[in-house]
Amino acid sequence: MGSFQQVIDQTFPGSLPEAVFVERAYEALAPLGFTDEHTIACVGLCRDEISRPLVERVVGVWGEAFNFSSLAGMLFLGKTGFLAAQSHAPFFGGRQRHVYLVAPHIAIGEGGELGLCHRPGQTGPSHACGALCGFLGELESGRADAALDADDLEQSLLKARLMQHLEWGQVPNLAELTLLTGKVILADLERMIGLTVDIETADYAVLSGVQIHGPKGAALFWPGTHYAMVEGIRRSFRIPD
Ligand SMILES: [Zn+2]
């Protein structure tokens, strides 16, 4: 029998309380120009209401957040959505600044059960991310369908996008699938930034990782890739644990 902490230590080492992650990200980015008044924040998390407190943390430091969210935190808003967010950014010193925070999410139970959570008002166990659990169920049954479904757009797009990164017959566990989803989200973010951001006139920062819901309301964030692009130069920064 495992434990929540064992899964964190083995699979998501360096995870921080999400409030601490957001505060430290702000402290790291403000000296690079990404202050509240000079920046628009854009947040792409799962639509799940248990993801929402992290959005509020971002709003708490950057003052607002353009909503990029789709099921599982996938980025399906496209160029139109990215350009809309960027057009809302303030100008300061002739430049605009965007901060992108993107992440899939996973619940982990007290005994280390992947996907397990409890929701207020429900007596039985629940799961997160439900979209990834649903896809995993299809993979386990050997009947994952990647066709676009007009009545299930986000889920069918999610499946098609993730299946590009799975070997035929490969069935990851939920933690592995969540980490893979995080990589795909980051790749999609960077592709969309390449298509829509003019680094001659705009600076941006990328914050990626995995949002983790633990027992008794624990809310953690596992920091993945993060960096800033300031006046066309990539700047690394550290978020201390
Ligand atoms: Zn979800």
For 199-232, the pLDDT digits (tens) are 999 999 999 999 999 999 999 999 999 999 999 9
Nearest to 130 by CA among 155, 110, 101: 155
Q: Where are the beta strands (DSSP E) in 28-166?
A: 40-44, 66-67, 91-92, 95-102, 105-107, 116-117, 126-127
For all residues of the chain together, what is the average pLDDT?
Answer: 95
Residue partners of 223: CB distance under 8 A and separation at least 6? 14, 15, 16, 21, 207, 209, 239, 241
| Ligand 1 geometric centre to CA of 235 (Å) | 31
> Cα(105) to centroid of ligand 1, in Å?
6
Is residue 241 in a domain? Answer: no
CA pair distance 207, 103, nearest whole angstrom: 8
CA 116 to centroid of ligand 1, rounded, Å: 12
Residue range 162-177: average pLDDT?
94
How many angstroms is it from 11 CA to the middle of ligand 1? Answer: 19
Amino acid 198: pLDDT: 95
Tell me if 173 is assigned to some domain: yes
Answer whether residue 168 shows pLDDT above 90: no
Least confident of 17-21, 80-84, 114-118, 151-155: 114-118
Distance 211 CA to ligand 1 centre (A): 10
- Alpha carbon of 128 to ligand 1 centroid (Å): 5
Collect residues with CB below 5 Å from ion ligand 1: 46, 48, 129
Q: What pTM was computed for the model? A: 0.96
Whether 43 maps to a domain, the answer reads: yes
Model pLDDT, residue 1: 59
Q: How far, in Å, from the CA of 201 to the mean position of ligand 1?
A: 35
Per the model's pLDDT, the better-predicted residue between 82 and 144 turns out to be: 82
Q: Report CA(72)–ligand 1 centroid distance (Å).
A: 4
Task: For residue 181, tell me if it sits in a domain.
Answer: yes
Interval 26-39: pLDDT, tens: 999 999 999 999 99
Q: Is residue 200 part of a domain?
A: yes
Could you list the residue range(s) of the whole structural domain that residue 213 is in? 4-236
Q: Please report, for the domain that includes residue 213, its CATH number.
A: 3.40.1050.10
Number of domains forming the structure of the chain: 1
The closest of 4, 7, 215 to 118, measured between CA atoms, is 215
